[in-house]
């Protein structure tokens, strides 16, 4: 067995995975943005439910996201705003998670 | 990679006189290469024809290939030489081979459904149960070939398809046969080979290579006769019936060779010597003798021999296979060649068929010592018993004995070979080549490559390591073809991608990262609500206190959330990385196993 043939085996057995922060950020951002977008539109599609006092209520719990995402509401426009916020938050989380992970791994391999 | 040391002047090269022992594929290739450099080698051959283990014998105009040699190689230089010498005389032949066991024929390479159907319901059930048993309770150590195969296929299938044939070929029990002999090649099957074979779908060309092969119209001997002619045309000498009886050395130099020719001794001088004779025989003939430990090491090397009983059958067609592996223990024959299916030109009369019944034996044992008449009789009885031809249809036959056809990899061979290697490498004007010269189970193409490299070492001063010409490569040939037909760039990028996908995710690092982010996220979420204020601050977020005792939407609660968030995030991250690594490992192991089984299914081919 030649050395180049064994190279991949050695790499796989001895090295640790590094994450691509940008890709990870992009993927997490898109997923979170889409989750909020779909969840919001799903509630709109279902229509309002009846509140405790008989009034129509549309997505009272999801609407709480508005506490953090200024301008977000359970409306179609809100779903677009939610997508933007979700994407931004997801990108930040994915990017930070990967960067932090790579930093820890680099430190571990150096020590 | 060869290291080019010095390049000699044309005059220096011309002053050299090369003597080559053995006119098999390795020796003749070396001579052919020398002839290309306008040198005039002298080739000494013990037999009455060229070709060595790849010779073609002739009986009543029928051609018999000693072993069945498919012309398929990954070595470009070898392929080039084949077509240079025999262009236009190669036939592209379809390949069919089956296993005969328990009065039935099974597809080879083994196909699970065909195998199970052929064996019948009861035997198949036993095989499946045995397989399951050995998957659950495998041998803890895989020291022998039997243990290694049993752990992968179960004992029952091993006994059916591996045991009898392996023991016929090697003459020793599978429980004595070191796993190293065969399994090392499969064990060493690299992840890269396995993965690439999974990701790259075979193209038609690959299928063609597997299902068809090239074959000289009149067998491999045709190739070697053509090479002999070419050498002689360039004023080289190929001397047949020359028994090398003594090899004279002075210090670290071979000085001359003494041959016995029709009872007369003749001394042949040379400046450089190449030998493909078995290492055992080479050491025996040295004068003065080699050191005692070298002689002992040479004596410890063992070989397996075989004989071919050639039968001419008065029938135009017998069976469609090129060859049949005979696993059935009720007959002694190991493999049956149908030469008409290798090349129609091997048989001069279309109304007849020629068969080669191969019996694996050891020189001096019962089979080897049987007379030709007894062996022909045995062959006739066995082809009838197997049902391939009627006894009365066999009109004549002959026997060819092929000594030292397989170097044996027993438990001693590695140490003995190391001693011999050190000694032989110390001989300055000498190169040992070929299957028996290197005691390595090389096929024809790799034997030829050793001949080519030996010439480069002696003529061009290169330092190619002939002992490492890779015989193992053959075992992965067909799997490897997938990757090798791709361009180097594609393979490189594929390797890079595979490397980045299959690396381990560090559990602690991933846990720490997710923990840090979760903790900070909760901390910030709490602070934001605090900052926004209101009559009732964060009633919904506060619900977290159901899970995080002590948590509240307050500054202190934020710190507690940081702590809890870190703990939960760390646990999830660690767990995710663990599961992801396990999944990747299981996937890679499954891919590897699949490739391993693929090679094993085709294993008999490499005997």
Output the six-digit token pair for B469: 């010409």
The residue of chain B nearest to residue A66, with distances taken between CA atoms, is: B529
> CB contacts < 8 Å between A and B, how many?
80
Name chain A contacts of B542, Cβ cutoff 8 Å. none
| DSSP one-letter string for A27-95 | HHHHHHHHHHHHHHHHHHHH-PEE-TTS-EES-TTGGGGGGTSTT--SSHHHHHHHHHHHHHHHHHHHH
| Tens digits of pLDDT across chain A (111 residues) | 344 555 556 666 667 888 889 999 999 999 999 999 999 999 999 887 777 777 777 877 888 888 889 999 999 999 999 999 999 999 999 999 999 999 999 888 777
Please give the mean pLDDT across all residues of chain A: 85
Chain A residues with beta carbon closer than 8 angstroms to that of B470: 1-2
User: Among all residues of chain A, which has the CA nearest to that of B184?
Assistant: A1
Give the one of B503, B509, B510 whose C-beta lies nearest to A12's C-beta.
B503
Do the Cβ atoms of B502 and A12 come within 8 Å? yes
Helix axes B444-460, B76-86, angle to 10 degrees: 100
- The minimal CB distance from A16 to the residues B188, B506, B588 is found for B506
Cβ of A5 within 8 Å of Cβ of B192? The answer is: yes
- Closest to A2 (Cβ–Cβ): which among B470, B506, B525? B470
Chain B residues touching residue A11 (CB < 8 angstroms): 499, 503
d(CA B477, CA B599): 9
The reply to whether B516 touches chain A by the CB within 8 Å rule is yes
Residues of B in contact with A86 (CB under 8 A): none
Given CB atoms, is B128 within the 8 Å cutoff of chain A? no
Query: What would the pLDDT profile of B413-462 be if each residue is shown by its tens digit?
Result: 889 999 999 999 999 999 999 999 999 888 899 899 999 999 999 988 88
**Strand pairing report for B272-275 and B323-326:** unpaired
pLDDT at B493 over 70: no
The ipTM estimated for the assembled molecules is 0.78
Q: Say yes or no for a CB contact (<8 Å) between B513 and A61.
A: no
In this structure, are residues B478 and B72 in contact, taking their beta carbons and an 8 Å threshold? no
What does the alpha-carbon distance between residue B216 and residue A104 come to, in Å, rounded to a whole number? 63
pTM equals 0.70
Q: Give the residue on B whose Cα is nearest the Cα of A98.
A: B513
Residue B499 forms contact with A (CB below 8 Å): yes
C-alpha separations of B38 from B7, B83, B145, B230 in Å: 16, 21, 48, 12
**Identity of the residue in A1, A12, A96 whose CB atom sits nearest the CB atom of B499:** A12
């Amino acid at each position: 067995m030649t050395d180049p043939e064994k190279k991949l085996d050695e790499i796989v057995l001895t090295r640790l995975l590094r994450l691509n922060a940008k890709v990870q950020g992009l993927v997490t951002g898109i997923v979170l943005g889409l989750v909020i977008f779909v969840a919001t539109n799903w509630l709109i599609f279902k229509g309002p439910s009846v509140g405790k006092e008989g009034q129509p209520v549309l997505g009272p719990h999801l609407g709480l996201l508005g506490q953090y995402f200024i301008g977000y509401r359970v409306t179609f426009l809100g779903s677009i705003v939610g997508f933007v916020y979700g994407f931004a938050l997801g990108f930040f989380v994915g990017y930070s998670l990967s960067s932090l992970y790579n930093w820890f791994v680099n430190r571990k391999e150096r020590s | 990679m060869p290291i080019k040391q010095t390049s000699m002047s044309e005059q220096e090269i011309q002053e050299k006189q090369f003597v080559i022992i053995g006119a098999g594929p390795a020796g003749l290739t070396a001579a052919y290469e020398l002839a290309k450099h306008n040198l005039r080698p002298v080739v000494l051959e013990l037999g009455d024809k060229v070709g060595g283990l790849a010779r073609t014998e002739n009986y009543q105009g029928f051609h018999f290939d000693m072993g069945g040699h498919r012309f398929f190689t990954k070595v470009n230089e070898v392929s080039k030489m084949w077509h240079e010498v025999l262009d236009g005389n190669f036939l592209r032949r379809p390949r069919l081979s089956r296993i005969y066991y328990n009065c039935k024929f099974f597809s080879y390479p083994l196909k699970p459904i065909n195998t199970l159907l052929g064996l019948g319901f009861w035997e198949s059930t036993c095989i499946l149960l045995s397989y399951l048993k050995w998957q659950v309770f495998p041998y803890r150590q895989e020291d022998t070939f039997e243990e290694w195969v049993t752990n992968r296929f179960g004992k029952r299938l091993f006994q059916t398809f591996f045991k009898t044939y392996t023991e016929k070929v090697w003459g020793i029990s599978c429980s004595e046969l070191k796993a190293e002999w065969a399994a090392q090649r499969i064990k060493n099957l690299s992840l890269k080979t396995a993965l690439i074979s999974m990701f790259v779908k075979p193209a038609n060309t690959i299928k063609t290579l597997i299902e068809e092969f090239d074959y000289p119209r009149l067998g491999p001997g045709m190739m070697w006769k053509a090479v002999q002619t070419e050498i002689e045309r360039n004023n080289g000498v190929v001397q047949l019936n020359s028994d090398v009886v003594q090899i004279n050395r002075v210090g670290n130099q071979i000085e001359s060779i003494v041959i016995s020719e029709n009872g007369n001794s003749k001394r042949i001088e040379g400046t450089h010597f190449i030998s493909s004779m078995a290492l055992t025989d080479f050491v025996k003939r040295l004068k003065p003798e080699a050191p005692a430990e070298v002689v002992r090491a040479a004596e410890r090397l063992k070989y397996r021999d075989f004989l071919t009983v050639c039968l001419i059958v008065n029938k135009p067609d017998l069976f469609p296979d090129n060859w049949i592996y005979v696993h059935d223990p009720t007959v002694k024959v190991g493999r049956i060649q149908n030469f008409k299916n290798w090349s129609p030109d091997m048989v001069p009369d279309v109304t007849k068929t020629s068969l080669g019944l191969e019996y694996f034996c050891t020189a001096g044992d019962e089979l080897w010592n049987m007379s030709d008449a007894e062996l022909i009789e045995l062959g006739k009885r066995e082809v009838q018993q197997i049902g391939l031809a009627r006894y009365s249809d066999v009109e004549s036959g002959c026997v060819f004995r092929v000594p030292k056809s397989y170097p044996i990899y027993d438990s001693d061979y590695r140490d003995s070979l190391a001693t011999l290697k050190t000694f032989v490498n110390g001989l300055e004007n000498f190169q040992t080549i070929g299957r028996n010269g290197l005691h390595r189970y090389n096929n024809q193409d790799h034997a030829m490559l050793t001949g080519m490299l030996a010439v480069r070492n002696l003529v061009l001063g290169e330092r190619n390591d002939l002992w490492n010409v890779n015989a193992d490569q053959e075992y992965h040939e067909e799997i490897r073809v997938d990757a090798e037909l791709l361009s180097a760039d594609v393979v490189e990028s594929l390797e890079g991608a595979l490397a980045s996908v299959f690396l381990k995710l560090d559990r602690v690092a991933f846990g720490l990262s997710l923990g840090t982010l979760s903790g900070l996220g909760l901390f910030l979420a709490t602070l934001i609500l605090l900052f926004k204020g209101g009559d009732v601050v964060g009633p919904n977020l506060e619900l977290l206190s159901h899970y995080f005792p002590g948590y509240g939407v307050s500054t202190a609660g934020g710190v507690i959330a940081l702590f809890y968030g870190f703990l939960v995030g760390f646990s999830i991250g660690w767990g995710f990385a663990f599961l992801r690594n396990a999944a990747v490992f299981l996937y890679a192991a499954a891919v590897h196993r699949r490739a391993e089984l693929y090679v094993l299914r085709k294993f008999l081919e490499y005997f």
